[in-house]
């Protein structure tokens, strides 16, 4: 009986620790916090950005878009006429952010356009990795980048056996 009590206490402590780790992991990688007030909804953007667009889709299919500048937080005032007679149901929102790039990063991207960057060069510049670049980490990051870019992801071309190239979308 005494051992069962200690065993249950240990299981309970391990469970609480596991839930704490999961909760901590869910706060990392957050893009924005949503705050709902009496007559407005506000998204506080937590990551560096150069502005973006907030799109809210109502259950009846209507979409409302609001553009915002870098450093600003998009806010929807529910008292606006466009929000009159909205149906009950589930509303979806999409927050699209433009990346905040330094002038040096923008210049490097422009210089790289059309040129093939080898796997070794990319691994060195991104992670400071010197040597034989056999890691699949780079391929995974490029795949995720293409997914995030959506239709624009086709601009990141694979040069088989060499590396990657950023092409012009018009090509």
Nearest CA to 154 out of 139, 171, 137, 141 is that of 171
Locate the domains of the chain by residue range.
Answer: 1-29, 32-99, 103-166
Distances (CA, A) of 50 to 25, 33, 97, 143, 153: 26, 18, 7, 23, 20
* Amino acid 170: pLDDT: 61
pLDDT digits (tens, 9 = 90+) for 93-107: 888 887 776 777 777
Report residue 63 as tokens.
Answer: 């979409």
Give the 3-state secondary structure of residue 48: coil
Could you say which of 1.10.1240.10, 1.10.10.10, 3.90.1150.10, 3.60.15.10 is the CATH number of the domain covering 103-166? 1.10.10.10
Average pLDDT over residues 108-117: 78
**Model confidence band, residue 145 (pLDDT cutoffs 50, 70, 90):** confident
pLDDT: which is higher, 51 or 99: 51
What is the CB-side half-sphere exposure of residue 14 using CA atoms within 13 A? 6
What is the percent of the chain with per-residue pLDDT over 70, rounded to a whole number? 76
pLDDT of residue 6: 42
Highest-confidence segment of 28-32, 107-111, 116-120, 124-128:
116-120
For residue 133, the model assigns a pLDDT of 53
Residues 54-94: pLDDT tens digits?
Answer: 888 989 998 888 888 888 888 888 778 877 788 888 888 88
């Amino acid at each position: 009986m005494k051992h069962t009590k200690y065993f249950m206490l240990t299981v309970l402590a391990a469970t609480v620790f596991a839930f704490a780790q999961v909760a901590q992991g869910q706060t990392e990688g957050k893009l924005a916090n949503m705050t709902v007030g009496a007559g407005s909804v506000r998204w506080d953007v937590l990551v560096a950005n150069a502005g973006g667009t907030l799109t809210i889709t109502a259950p009846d299919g209507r979409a409302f878009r609001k553009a915002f500048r870098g450093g600003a937080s998009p806010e929807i005032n529910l008292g606006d006429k466009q929000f009159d007679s909205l149906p009950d149901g589930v509303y979806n929102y999409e927050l699209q952010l433009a990346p905040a790039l330094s002038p040096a990063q923008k210049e490097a991207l422009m210089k790289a356009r059309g040129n093939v960057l080898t796997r070794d060069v990319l691994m060195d510049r991104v992670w400071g990795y010197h040597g034989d670049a056999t890691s699949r980490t780079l391929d995974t990051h490029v795949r995720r980048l293409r997914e995030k870019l959506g239709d624009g992801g086709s601009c990141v071309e694979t040069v088989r056996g060499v590396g990657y190239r950023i092409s012009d979308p018009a090509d």
